[in-house]
């Protein structure tokens, strides 16, 4: 006769903790406890050695099911973000505003996913609507020198190069 396959584990929340006790110099155990969180409290359930593998498989099944739900939620959110990104890029192009090369690359990634047969517009990367442009940092002295030079140029244009000091003193 064929042996029956074990029934799939019913998912149980929590994790398995193993500990030992010392009593009169002797190490006792291992003792196994399933722990799970309810609000701020941590609940405990002691496990017999014969039930350990069954409960461990049930906790692992629950963990995998939660991970699958999180990944599905992540894919949905990223797909919505990509859809909003594409609509924003269309509005920018209709207004005649240029697109940054990072944004163009993201659009190409989305198109490649669609051409590959993916039914969603999911991409692992997040779309970037705002592109940060790095500007050079100026010291205070650089700023003072630039303002002084601009002031001289303005005074030269208004009063002429030779009358600059006379205009300030007047």
Confidence at residue 168, expressed as pLDDT on a 0 to 100 scale: 52
In a domain, 44, yes or no: yes
Q: Which residue has the higher pLDDT, 18 or 143?
A: 18
Average pLDDT value over all residues in the chain: 81
**In the chain, how many domains are there?**
2
Q: Are residues 99 and 163 in the same domain?
A: no
Residue 152 belongs to domain spanning: 140-169
- Cα–Cα distance between 129 and 110 in angstroms, integer? 15
pLDDT of residue 5: 46
In a domain, 134, yes or no: no
Q: Is the pLDDT of residue 22 over 90?
A: yes
User: How crowded is the C-beta side of 46, counted as CA atoms within 13 Å?
Assistant: 5
Higher pLDDT, 61 or 98: 61
- Residues 27, 106 within the same domain: yes
In a domain, 120, yes or no: no
87 and 144 share a domain?
no
Rounded to the nearest 5 degrees, what angle is found at the Cα of 73, between the Cα atoms of 72 and 75?
A: 65
pLDDT at 162: 54
């Amino acid at each position: 006769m064929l042996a029956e396959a074990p029934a799939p584990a019913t998912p149980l929340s929590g994790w398995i903790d193993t500990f030992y006790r010392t009593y009169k110099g002797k190490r006792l155990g291992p003792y196994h406890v399933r722990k799970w969180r309810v609000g701020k409290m941590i609940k405990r359930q002691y496990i017999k050695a014969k039930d350990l593998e069954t409960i461990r498989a049930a906790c692992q099944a629950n963990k995998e099911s939660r991970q699958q739900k999180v990944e599905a939620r992540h894919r949905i959110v990223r797909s919505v973000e990509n859809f909003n990104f594409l609509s924003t890029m269309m509005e920018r192009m209709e207004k005649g505003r240029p697109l940054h090369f990072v944004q163009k690359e993201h659009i190409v990634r989305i198109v490649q996913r669609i051409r590959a047969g993916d039914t969603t517009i999911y991409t692992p990367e997040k779309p970037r609507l705002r592109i940060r442009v790095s500007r050079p940092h100026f010291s205070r002295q650089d700023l003072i020198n630039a303002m002084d030079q601009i002031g001289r140029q303005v005074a030269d244009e208004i009063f002429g190069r030779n009358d600059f000091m006379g205009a300030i003193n007047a």
